[in-house]
Amino acid sequence: MAVKTWPWMRLFFKIKPLVKSAGMGKEIAALKEECVQLQKTLENSESQREELKAKQFSFIREKNDLLLQLQAVSGPIICSPHQVFN
C-alpha cells in the first residue's frame, strides 16, 4: 500500500489504462477491415445468387417450353411436376 504514493507508481496507474485502449484501437481497426472484407464477400455471393436464380428461372421456362412442344407433337402427357425425365 505504501508503494501507491510513489511518483512512478502514480504514473504507472495513469498510463496503464491508456496502454489497454491503444491495444483496443488496433483490434477495432482489424475488425473494421474484416467487416469490409465480409461485406465484399456478401456482395459477391448475393450477385452469384441472383445470377443462379435467373438461370434457374430460364431453365424452368425452357423445360416448360419443351414439354409444350412435346405435347403438341405427341399428344397430352400426364406427369407429375416433380417427375424426372431420363
Distance CA 34, CA 26 (A): 12
pLDDT band at 86 (very low <50, low <70, confident <90, very high): very low
Query: Is residue 57 situated within a structural domain?
Result: yes
The pLDDT assigned to 78 comes to 62
Range of the domain at 58: 2-74
Query: Is residue 26 situated within a structural domain?
Result: yes
Query: Is residue 84 situated within a structural domain?
Result: no
Query: Is residue 82 situated within a structural domain?
Result: no
Listed range (14-18, 36-40, 67-71) with the worst mean pLDDT: 14-18
What is the pTM for the complete model shown?
0.53
**Other Cβ atoms closer than 10 A to 5:** 8
Query: Is residue 81 situated within a structural domain?
Result: no
- In the chain, the number of structural domains is 1
Distance CA 38, CA 80 (A): 42
pLDDT > 80? residue 75: no
Query: Is residue 38 situated within a structural domain?
Result: yes
Query: Is residue 48 situated within a structural domain?
Result: yes
